[in-house]
Amino acid sequence: MEERTIENHKIHFAIMAIETSAKKMNISPMEMYRRLERVNLFKRLVWDCYDVMHTQSLQHVAEDLVEALHNWEMREKLQTNNES
């Protein structure tokens, strides 16, 4: 597949994943993206794992993103508290 086409597919997948996850959390897609970026999950889970993630149902992807986000935010919070 042409590199540009793959890039377009990844962008489309990322948008759908963020929108579906945001809806599941009752937040805006922009807030979901910001939170994923803050803990570096957008690149690590959505973008870099596209080959695996895009083969799953959108509902499953959203569940994975929400769970991962909660876990990473909790981890970040604990690390911040330990540093204080």
Q: Where are the domains of the chain?
A: 3-83
pTM to 2 decimals? Answer: 0.85
Give the Cα separation of 35 and 31 in Å (integer): 6
Q: What is the pLDDT along the chain (84 residues), one digit of tens a residue?
A: 588 888 999 999 999 999 999 999 999 999 999 999 999 999 999 999 999 999 999 999 999 999 999 999 999 888 888 887
pLDDT of residue 25: 97
Query: Of 47, 37, 44, 40, whose CA–CA distance to 6 is shortest?
Result: 47
- HSE (CB half, 13 Å, CA atoms) of 23? 10
pLDDT of residue 83: 80
